[in-house]
Structure 1
Amino acid sequence: MGNASSLLTQYDIEEVQEHCNHTFSQQEILSLYQRFCQLDRNGCGFVSGEEFLSVPEFAVTPLSQRLLRMIDGLNFKEFVAFLSAFSAHASLQQKVEFIFRVYDSDGNGKVSFNDMLEVLQDLTGPFISEVQREQVLTRVLEEAGYSKDSSLVQSDFLKILGSSDLKMEVEIPVD
């Protein structure tokens, strides 16, 4: 795929589809490629965190700093793989894997009470006190059969979120 200014070949498109488990159509991949090239202002073939912050919807999300750690320096194939969790065709497993990675900011494969508390802090900001966040999180964990001392792994997230109607989708405009 080389330089971001080069065109995608049919082989490139199929390779990207395979890499993201066919969650996007070929037309959607072409649209994503156009957007990627717009973000990659210096044409180096990678999108920096700063370039991602130029997208207003991304910049205002309360989890933007966590997401930046996941996306800084992505090439096009990685960019599409990152976005694939938001495809209407993504499986529950793919969506849960993404959510788990957001919570597991140190990448150790476990999410502690403090990890969850940090995400809750990002989401609620100053509107809820630290004590209230701890109480809410403790109650949610207990209702799911876990304690404050539990370290959750990805399969725990699947167990907890598997019964919910997880809506995590963005529409990719195609020409």
Structure 2
Amino acid sequence: MGNTSSMLTQYDIEEVQNHCNNRFTQREIVSLYQRFCALDRSGKGYISADEFMSVPEFAVNPLSQRLLGMLEGLNFKEFVEVLSAFSPLATIEEKLNFIFKVYDIRNNGKVSREDILRVLCDLSGNFLTDDQRQAVVTQALEESGYSKDDSLTPEDFLKILQKGSLKMEVEVPID
């Protein structure tokens, strides 16, 4: 499975399916493998940053650089595991854990005010001033019962975001 020029065996498909907690059907895994191979133009068994950035939808995503840090260099099995957070079968906790990782800029298991501000800056671009972003983050933290100096753990993050509705799904096209 490391070499993308090979075909998936039934064993490989079942192994990937188990690895992603059966969030995708076997047909979806085959379809994802075909897409993975198309993106892995170098045939190295992983998708490089340049290969990810060649996908127009990915390149224009304001969080593409954050996502690259999470996705670059993943093999197919790891790639499907990351994508499983977008499955309709994924739990809200799995989806929120993915979002937490996007916000956890230092990869230290905590989301600080600065982490939130950096992501908000990426998302808002020039539409908000620094002062407006500061105010948004301060208000959001205070409404959630946290101070501006608190760092959020995954549990805190889950508690805050679980209050709203979250639709984070992708449909895997099957050929």
TM-score of the two chains, using structure 2 as the length reference: 0.98
Superposed displacement of residue 44, structure 1: 1.1
Partner of 1:76: 76
Query: Aligned partners of 2:20 and 2:94: how far apart in 1?
Result: 10
Q: Cα deviations across residues 111-145 of structure 1 (Å, max 9, x unaligned)?
A: 10000000000000011000000001100111111
Superposed displacement of residue 54, structure 1: 1.0
2:117 and 2:137 in contact (8 A); partners too: yes
Partner of 1:42: 42
Matches within 5 A, 1:94-113: 94-113=94-113
Superposed displacement of residue 163, structure 1: 2.3
Partner of 1:123: 123
Identity %: 65
SS state of the match for residue 98, structure 2?
A: helix
SS state of the match for residue 57, structure 2?
A: helix
| Structure 1, gaps ≥5 residues long | none
Query: Aligned partners of 1:15 and 1:163: how far apart in 2?
Result: 35
SS state of the match for residue 107, structure 1?
A: coil
Partner of 2:142: 142
Instruction: Tell me how many residue pairs correspond in the alignment.
Output: 175
Which letter does structure 1 place at the counterpart of 2:121?
Answer: Q
Matches within 5 A, 1:11-90: 11-90=11-90
SS state of the match for residue 149, structure 1?
A: coil
Runs (4 or more) in structure 1 with deviation over 6 Å come to none
Q: Does residue 158 of structure 1 match 2:158? A: yes
Partner of 1:170: 170
Superposed displacement of residue 2, structure 1: 2.8
Superposed displacement of residue 18, structure 1: 1.1
Superposed displacement of residue 166, structure 1: 0.7
Superposed displacement of residue 165, structure 1: 1.4
Which letter does structure 2 place at the counterpart of 1:2?
Answer: G
Query: Aligned partners of 1:85 and 1:107: how far apart in 2?
Result: 18
